[in-house]
Structure 1
Amino acid sequence: MAGYYKVELDALAQLITQLGESANSMSSAMKQLKDIGPKGSGYAELEQACDDFQDKWGYGIGLIADATGGITEGLSESRKIYEALEDQIAESFKPSGKAGK
């Protein structure tokens, strides 16, 4: 017997939005750290900390942001498919107008 599951389209849409925002935030934060540059903030310790963070985490966060973008695209496509399927199923239960024939 197959298990039962339900796709919550509104919750899926919210997840898609949140993942997209997360990917954008990660990319933006890394760009801002990179843009501070050697003399951008005026505080040597902050500049060094930004450089150190960028060196240690920049590549990995970039990969995470890229993967998150890919997941977001895949979830968006899945949501469209589920939504279309639900619409087709709902349509199949509507009366056809051929009652009594």
Structure 2
Amino acid sequence: MGGRFKADVDQLGQFLKTLEGCVKELNEARTALSHVRADQIGTDELDEACDGFQERWKYGSEQTKKMVDAIGKGVKANKQNYEEVEEALEKTLKAITKKATSGHGGSK
């Protein structure tokens, strides 16, 4: 099974940074547009459409953030689990190697 599945914890860490960056950029874009009021743009219809868009964008970006946060938590937990398994495996292999090379390998 080891040859079929591999996890790169560094890549998982980079993926987390990318997710966090996406949420930050989405919020920055929405914040930048929130300073432009619809009544500054033009006709009543256009103003109303812009207000509606701003509300939908806000709702959509909040929902996206919730989903990205949930994905991020899962990826972070998986990354930690992989790191723990790697550390435990390394510790165990070192102990086995030490025991085998110390002459107490258990052969009788």
| TM-score bracket, shorter-length normalisation | 0.7 to 0.9
Alignment of 1:72-91 (within 5 A): 72-91=72-91
**Counterpart residue identity of residue 17, structure 2:** T
- Any runs of at least 4 consecutive aligned residues in structure 1 with deviations exceeding 6 A, and if so which? none
Higher-Rg member (1/2): 2
Listed as ranges, the gaps of 5+ residues in structure 1 are none
**Counterpart Cα distance in 1 of 2:71 and 2:62:** 14
CA contact 1:9–1:83 (8 Å) conserved in 2? yes
Alignment of 1:20-31 (within 5 A): 20-31=20-31
**Counterpart Cα distance in 2 of 1:25 and 1:34:** 14
Q: Which has the higher helix share?
A: 2
**Counterpart Cα distance in 1 of 2:68 and 2:5:** 25
1:100 to 90, 100, 103: 103
TM-score, normalised on structure 2? 0.70
Aligned length: 97
Listed as ranges, the gaps of 5+ residues in structure 2 are none
Among the aligned pairs, what percent are the same residue? 25
**Counterpart residue identity of residue 34, structure 1:** S
Cα RMSD for the two superposed structures: 2.8
TM-score, normalised on structure 1? 0.74
